[in-house]
Amino acid sequence: MKNQPFSFEIYSKKIHENMSFFLNQLPNQDQELIQSIKYSCLNGGKHVRGILVYLIAELFQVTSSNVDKIAISVELMHTYSLIHDDLPAMDDDDIRRGQPSNHIKFNQATAILAGDALQALSFEILTQLTIKPHYIIRLIELLSNSVGTKGMCLGQSLDILNENKTIDLNTLKKIHQLKTGALFKSSILMGAIVSGDESKKYLNSLSHFGETIGLFFQVQDDILDITSTTDELGKPQGSDQKIYKSTFPSLLGLDEAIVYANELQEKCLFIINQLPGNKEKLIHLIKILSKRKK
């Protein structure tokens, strides 16, 4: 195993299989709600948040089924946010991961309810962990914080309210920290907390890593929206420009945005070096992310 190069795909496939198993165990399989949930969860995402859960847990030598469940939890939460973000009242995106968005494939009511139910499932699966109860509560607290009024929902709300406006760079960073960074950060911290007290003294570095990789990922997304094709992205290219949205390239220029992304990548690698354990896979993940086309 040690000499085998780390492959992004192995983890992504594992997460897909675990999610599939979990969702197939739910009652009411014939219901449209369940079909709609499975449609969006099992349509080939990258599972970066789930992979981060694994890689961080591995730093602390944890590889239990608890980690599997935490990875599912953050991916269910992420999928709920994508389904709701795509709704006509939000970003109005008809295509997601190269397929019709949930509300196009099904309908808006089902898409809203699938997102709602996914959020509940994301918390529910954490209650099934076999770690010490107070750690489970800490995980749920972290996750809920990263989703609600201090995280993703506030970020998405600010993002929409600032459409067709030019905002300054700090406001843009704040929006993306909330919209994307918060769940990245909680995924990373959740992957650490499953190890118990082992990770305690690294929580600051891990938080910092979470914020930085979240921003790195978002700056890249903004760049890819310009430089990739619709085919590569699996969603319409140029969608940020269609409804005028301030992005890192629109505020900094494309070249400067690319420089900024590179700086963030270096910063990620710098922070990773402060973490314990074998950091090879994390470093490799950053390199794979830096080359992504979608």
Closer residue to a copy of itself (CB): 53 or 76: 76
Of 7-15, 129-137, 185-193, 228-236, the window that binds a copy of itself (rule: CB under 8 A) is 129-137
Residue carrying the six token digits 């009242």: 89
Does 153 bind a copy of itself (CB under 8 A)? Our answer is yes
Does 264 bind a copy of itself (CB under 8 A)? Our answer is no
Closer residue to a copy of itself (CB): 92 or 198: 92
Cβ pair 222, 238 in contact under 8 A = no
Indicate the SS3 state at residue 67: helix
Cβ pair 52, 188 in contact under 8 A = yes
Paired residues of 113 in beta bridges: none
Q: Which helix (H) or strand (E) holds 124?
A: helix 108-126
Closer residue to a copy of itself (CB): 81 or 228: 81
Using a 10 angstrom Cβ sphere, with 0-12 exposed, 13-18 middle and 19 or more buried, the burial of residue 208 is middle
Q: Which listed residue (158, 224, 226, 254) binds a copy of itself by CB under 8 A?
A: 158
DSSP 194: T
Does 147 bind a copy of itself (CB under 8 A)? Our answer is yes
Does 120 bind a copy of itself (CB under 8 A)? Our answer is yes
C-alpha closest to that of 69 among 133, 129, 144, 139: 129
Does 249 bind a copy of itself (CB under 8 A)? Our answer is no
Does 101 bind a copy of itself (CB under 8 A)? Our answer is no
Cβ pair 244, 164 in contact under 8 A = yes
Give whole-number Cα distances, 226 to 82, 137, 223, 253, in Å. 20, 41, 5, 11
Does 79 bind a copy of itself (CB under 8 A)? Our answer is no
Q: Which listed residue (9, 61, 109, 196) binds a copy of itself by CB under 8 A?
A: 109
Q: Which listed residue (134, 204, 255, 291) binds a copy of itself by CB under 8 A?
A: 134
Nearby residues of 60 by Cβ (< 8 Å), 6 or more positions away: 192, 194, 195, 198, 199, 276, 277
Using a 10 angstrom Cβ sphere, with 0-12 exposed, 13-18 middle and 19 or more buried, the burial of residue 292 is middle
Q: Which listed residue (98, 116, 279, 286) binds a copy of itself by CB under 8 A?
A: 116
How far apart are the two ends of the chain, measured CA to CA in Å? Answer: 28
Cβ pair 102, 83 in contact under 8 A = yes
Does 160 bind a copy of itself (CB under 8 A)? Our answer is yes
Does 37 bind a copy of itself (CB under 8 A)? Our answer is yes
Does 89 bind a copy of itself (CB under 8 A)? Our answer is yes
Closer residue to a copy of itself (CB): 148 or 253: 148
- Rounded to a whole number of angstroms, the minimum distance from the CB of residue 189 to a copy of itself is 14
Q: Which listed residue (66, 79, 101, 110) binds a copy of itself by CB under 8 A?
A: 110
**Residue 54, token pair as written in the block:** 């694994």
Binding residues for a copy of itself, rule: CB under 8 A, are 26-28, 31-34, 37, 80, 84, 87, 89-90, 107-110, 112-121, 123-124, 126-128, 132-134, 136-138, 140-141, 144-145, 147-151, 153-154, 156-158, 160-161
